A and B are shown apart, each in its own frame.
Chain A
Amino acid sequence: MLKKSIKWLLILLVLVSAAVTLYGWHLSGRIEKRFSARLWRMPSTVYSDTTLLYPGQGFDRKNLTEKLKSLGYRMVAGRPNNQGEMRMTKGTVEVYLKDFKIPSQHRSGNPVRLRFDRGRIKSIERIDTGDRLAIMELEPEEIGQFYGPERERRQLVSIRQVPPNLVRAALAAEDSRFYGHHGFDPVGILRAFYVNLRAGRIRQGGSTITQQLAKNFFLTPERTIVRKLNELIMSVIIELKYQKEEILEIYLNDIYLGQSGTVAINGVGEACLFYFAKPVKDMSLAEAATIAGIIRAPGRYSPYIDKKRCRQRRDAVLKAMSAKNWISDAELQSALAQPIETVGENIVVKKAPYFMDYLSHQLGSLYSRDDLTRLGLSIYTTLDTRVQDAAEKALYRGLTRLEKSIATLKRAAPAQKLQGAVIVVQPKTGFILAMVGGRDYAASQYNRATQSRRQPGSAFKPFIYLAALDQLTPASRLSNEPRTYMIDGKPWTPENAAQEVGVNMSVSMRAALAASNNRATVDLAMQTGLEQVVEKTAPFQFTTPIKPYPSLALGAFEVVPLELARAYCVLAGDGVLSHPLSIKDVTDDHGRLLSQAHLNIDRMISPAKAYIMTDMLKSVVSEGTARALSGWNLPGPVAGKTGTTNNFRDAWFVGYTPNILALVWVGFDNGDPVKASGAKAALPIWAELMKAIPQYISGADFKMPAGVVTRTVCSESGLLAAGRTCPLPMEEIFLEDIVPDQPCPLHPARNPIKDLIHGIKDLFNSTP
């Protein structure tokens, strides 16, 4: 009987051992897969473009110091003597530039002084040599990293970079017998049990660093026996498979160390920057103990939450280190005497999140999502962080203002709120300087700048007018009479948006575009030929279908906002399409260039046609639907077009100067009416954005190219006014091969005798 029992017991033992071995083998595979990925994973980092500064540029001191702060420069009281330091004095900013190296460019750091005068850079000079500089460049700014699905911030550090005091502090705080156990620590468990029993509450945990790692990596947070058992088995396996140093490195890079807004602070590398604005290698003993103290409960011991409690915890860690003889008494006393001095909490926000998504999509053809999170690439982009900030703020403020002025636009649910999109491009290079795909990335990741398809309304009209420029001129007369067109057998009568006083039955092409006249524009499209209009818009490469219906003239076909911005770039860029560019260079983790993209251009229309369109679009701003822009006092001329769709579903404004172009769209995702025109809803956002980036607004006018001529014409007939008695003559520009050659037929020729008599009469009448 006994023999039989022993036999069964042995069989059971073998079966259990086999099961445990099999389970262990299964877990081992999982651990290896996850650990090897973690050990070799290096997130790719995305950088903005460099920032160019030059004398005469509109850039005030505040703007510059903010930019420098975001690049990690520190304000000092005395003269900056080390790289990364700056100071402000009356009318100047002195900065010791950091070294930087990017593909095709290397700069050694040097001290410079920038003088300012009335919001402009007056001069730039080297402090050490006194040399005047014509230009100066600031290094690219980190925008974000591709790490994990949420693109967390992570400053990965090698265990060799971590100072011994930080390692010891972490061990003293969490697992002082780390080097003595094999995954779990029975002595530690018993000690924790005893401490907790005496205290009558949980005061100490018995988990080793390896157990914490197993828990964080593989297991769910609930507290069950099975989970604890799994944790133990895994810890042992981890210890069997990996060196202590490897385990410690992964642990230090992964532990949760606080929260900044919606962004989690993970790993000591990130925490050192977040709390002390220092790299991990520069941690003092007191700072290392502070970081180590936070590990147990960041919500409780963070210096940003409770400095006093944080200090108590730090001191406890220091004393634990001293008790282990890991620091001397002198070191202990010195560290205990130091206050907790943090850098001050800067809420970490995800920078340019919609742009990052767009970038990820653009990079998709070259690198997989997994590659981006493990290859440690450096991705240099065209983004300007100052423009991006200005665009985000302008959109947010603009939408809030609109909701205040029209109360029915307010929606409680974040997903249903009034939305908007902003795209800022340099028209002559195609560089995307900023992209905002919505008002709140946390609420909606749908990028309305690149993914949405919306009717452009009147914002499409310039392309109808452009198509007509082979036959008509800005002075050509268009019909403003009500007219009914048949579309698919149904009558359609376009109406003008604004109520007109003393309706003119005909208007000039320039006036029609300025006033966004619907009847005249449809008349223009019909005169040009709808097929011809579709053919002429084809080179602009709208990916959405555009069909030869009369409503095409009023922007009834949907477009992608980025594609509309690209099309306007042709008008702003002398008829040349500079293809939109977001990524300039990609390098590997050793700085070797992997790919490079340059300004890429294609001729689309003649510079003369582009200039005439721009000049007509200047009239939209000076006298037409966008004349409200004059109240914003922007320096220099602006060309632009408003757009409003049926029932006010979409509000647009696309405007540009010779150096910068921005598109603004406002609307609801579900097509609810915005109840405001493009001029009211989108234009103020555009204007606020431009006011915030004076560095891009030079005030220069558009340059007239060869092939454009000026003539004086009658404003009523559009024909030559020379030698006629036209009461309202005006100067107009024309393509040199399409110039009116007929005199105005509405007004008789001038009579020299009558003119003389009138002249003399006028002279006498004007004599006092």
Chain B
Amino acid sequence: MALKTSSTAPRRYQRFILGFFCGLLLFGCMPQTKVSVYNKQTPPAPLPTRKPSVPPTVKPDSAQALAAEALVDQGRQLLAQGAPDAAIRVLERSVALDSNSGQNYYYLAEAWLMKQNAHQAREFNRLADMNLGRDPDWKTRIDRQNDRINTLGH
């Protein structure tokens, strides 16, 4: 019986210490009740994680992105062959599939440059910048393209 009593006391002590530290730990990241905005009656739903704007993915990570990239390659080849209209046709389809790639916008701007249309070239250059501007290599290319557009515009 005594043995039983003596063994209970340290356990309570340990439990208190454990509880204290756990409390401190929890205090640091105290969960506040987060609820859905619109309907307070519904149980709290996990909030969507709103990630900060991330640099554009250069490597495609989905089926659509892969197909869009294949079309960008075709568009680039057509531009190299001096066929801007054909390139635009292909790149338009790439945009429809994956507008986040940014590369399709860059080459669309290139095609419009080839067609001497500064307005459209500028619009697509801006979209390319929006999607690829965080990538230093692409940023340089986009800025240079913008300079060429401005030269054409003037």
Contact, CB under 8 Å: B123 / A731: no
Q: Which of B5-13, B34-42, B142-150 contacts A (4 or more CB under 8 A)?
A: B34-42
Known: A52-B67, A710-B52, A760-B19. A104 touches B89 (CB 8 A): yes
Contact of A728 among B33, B63, B67, B71 (CB under 8 A): B33
**Which of chain A's residues have a CB closer than 8 A to the CB of B100?**
703
**Which of chain A's residues have a CB closer than 8 A to the CB of B71?**
135
List which B32-87 residues lie within 8 A (CB) of chain A: 32-40, 42, 47-48, 50-53, 62-64, 66-67, 69-71, 83, 85-86
Known: A706-B130, A729-B34. A134 touches B23 (CB 8 A): no
Contact of A104 among B23, B34, B70, B83 (CB under 8 A): B83
Contact, CB under 8 Å: B22 / A763: yes
**Which of chain A's residues have a CB closer than 8 A to the CB of B99?**
428, 573-574, 658
Distance of A600 Cα from B95 Cα, bound (Å): 12
Known: A659-B96, A704-B51, A763-B23. A54 touches B66 (CB 8 A): yes
Q: Does A510 contact B (CB under 8 A)?
A: yes
Contact, CB under 8 Å: A576 / B123: yes
Q: Does A619 contact B (CB under 8 A)?
A: yes
Instruction: Place the interface of chain B in its size category.
Output: 35 or more
Known: A623-B37, A759-B26. A731 touches B50 (CB 8 A): yes
CB distance from A571 to the nearest CB of B (A): 14
Determine which residue in A429, A508, A708 has the highest number of CB atoms from chain B within 10 A of its CB, and name it: A429
Known: A56-B66, A704-B51. A599 touches B37 (CB 8 A): no
Q: Which of A256-264, A368-376, A601-609 contacts B (4 or more CB under 8 A)?
A: A601-609
CB distance from A401 to the nearest CB of B (A): 27
CB distance from B52 to the nearest CB of A (A): 7
Contact, CB under 8 Å: A624 / B123: no
Q: Does A511 contact B (CB under 8 A)?
A: yes
What 0/1 pattern do residues 740 to 768 of A give for CB contact below 8 A with B?
00000000000010011001100110000
Contact, CB under 8 Å: B32 / A763: no
**Which of chain B's residues have a CB closer than 8 A to the CB of A511?**
37-38
Q: Does A426 contact B (CB under 8 A)?
A: yes
Contact, CB under 8 Å: B95 / A429: yes
Contact, CB under 8 Å: B23 / A756: yes
Q: Does A408 contact B (CB under 8 A)?
A: no
List which B99-138 residues lie within 8 A (CB) of chain A: 99-100, 108, 120, 123-124, 126-127, 130, 133
**Which of chain A's residues have a CB closer than 8 A to the CB of B52?**
704, 709-710
Contact, CB under 8 Å: B35 / A715: yes
Contact, CB under 8 Å: A55 / B66: yes
What 0/1 pattern do residues 130 to 150 of A give for CB contact below 8 A with B?
000011000000000000000
Contact of B63 among A54, A599, A727 (CB under 8 A): A54
Q: Which residue of B lies closest to A585 (CB)?
A: B89
Contact of A57 among B19, B63, B83 (CB under 8 A): B63
Distance of A431 Cα from B120 Cα, bound (Å): 17
**Which of chain A's residues have a CB closer than 8 A to the CB of B37?**
508, 510-511, 514, 619, 623, 715, 730, 732
Contact, CB under 8 Å: A730 / B35: yes
List which A483-531 residues lie within 8 A (CB) of chain B: 508, 510-511, 514-515
Q: Does A733 contact B (CB under 8 A)?
A: yes
Q: Does B24 contact A (CB under 8 A)?
A: yes
CB distance from A693 to the nearest CB of B (A): 13
**Which of chain A's residues have a CB closer than 8 A to the CB of B96?**
426, 428-429, 431, 659
Distance of A745 Cα from B34 Cα, bound (Å): 18
CB distance from B75 to the nearest CB of A (A): 11
Distance of A426 Cα from B99 Cα, bound (Å): 11
Distance of A514 Cα from B130 Cα, bound (Å): 29
Q: Does A196 contact B (CB under 8 A)?
A: no
Contact, CB under 8 Å: B89 / A510: no
Q: Which residue of B lies closest to A709 (CB)?
A: B52
Contact, CB under 8 Å: B127 / A574: yes
Q: Does A105 contact B (CB under 8 A)?
A: yes
CB distance from B53 to the nearest CB of A (A): 5
**Which of chain A's residues have a CB closer than 8 A to the CB of B85?**
104, 596, 598
Known: A134-B66, A710-B52. A601 touches B35 (CB 8 A): no
**Which of chain A's residues have a CB closer than 8 A to the CB of B3?**
none
Q: Which residue of B lies closest to A698 (CB)?
A: B64
**Which of chain A's residues have a CB closer than 8 A to the CB of B38?**
510-511, 514-515, 619, 623-624
Q: Does A432 contact B (CB under 8 A)?
A: no
Q: Which residue of A lies closest to B64 (CB)?
A: A698
**Which of chain A's residues have a CB closer than 8 A to the CB of B27?**
752, 755-756, 759
CB distance from A505 to the nearest CB of B (A): 15
**Which of chain A's residues have a CB closer than 8 A to the CB of B40?**
728
Distance of A704 Cα from B150 Cα, bound (Å): 28
Q: Does A459 contact B (CB under 8 A)?
A: no
Contact, CB under 8 Å: B120 / A730: no
Contact, CB under 8 Å: B89 / A700: no
CB distance from B81 to the nearest CB of A (A): 11
Contact, CB under 8 Å: B51 / A428: no
Q: Does A344 contact B (CB under 8 A)?
A: no
Contact of B70 among A134, A510, A706 (CB under 8 A): A134
Contact, CB under 8 Å: B120 / A105: no
Contact, CB under 8 Å: A760 / B47: no
CB distance from B36 to the nearest CB of A (A): 6
| B interface residues, Cβ below 8 angstroms from A | 19-20, 22-24, 26-27, 30, 32-40, 42, 47-48, 50-53, 62-64, 66-67, 69-71, 83, 85-86, 88-89, 92-93, 95-97, 99-100, 108, 120, 123-124, 126-127, 130, 133
Additional A-B contacts beyond A508-B37, A601-B127, A731-B48 (12; CB < 8 A)? A54-B70, A429-B95, A573-B99, A601-B124, A623-B39, A623-B42, A624-B38, A730-B35, A730-B36, A756-B24, A760-B23, A763-B19
28 A/B residue pairs, CB under 8 Å, sorted by A: A56-B66, A104-B83, A134-B67, A428-B95, A428-B96, A429-B95, A429-B96, A431-B96, A598-B85, A598-B88, A603-B126, A624-B38, A659-B97, A698-B64, A705-B53, A705-B130, A708-B53, A710-B50, A715-B37, A727-B32, A728-B33, A728-B34, A728-B35, A729-B34, A759-B23, A759-B26, A763-B22, A764-B19
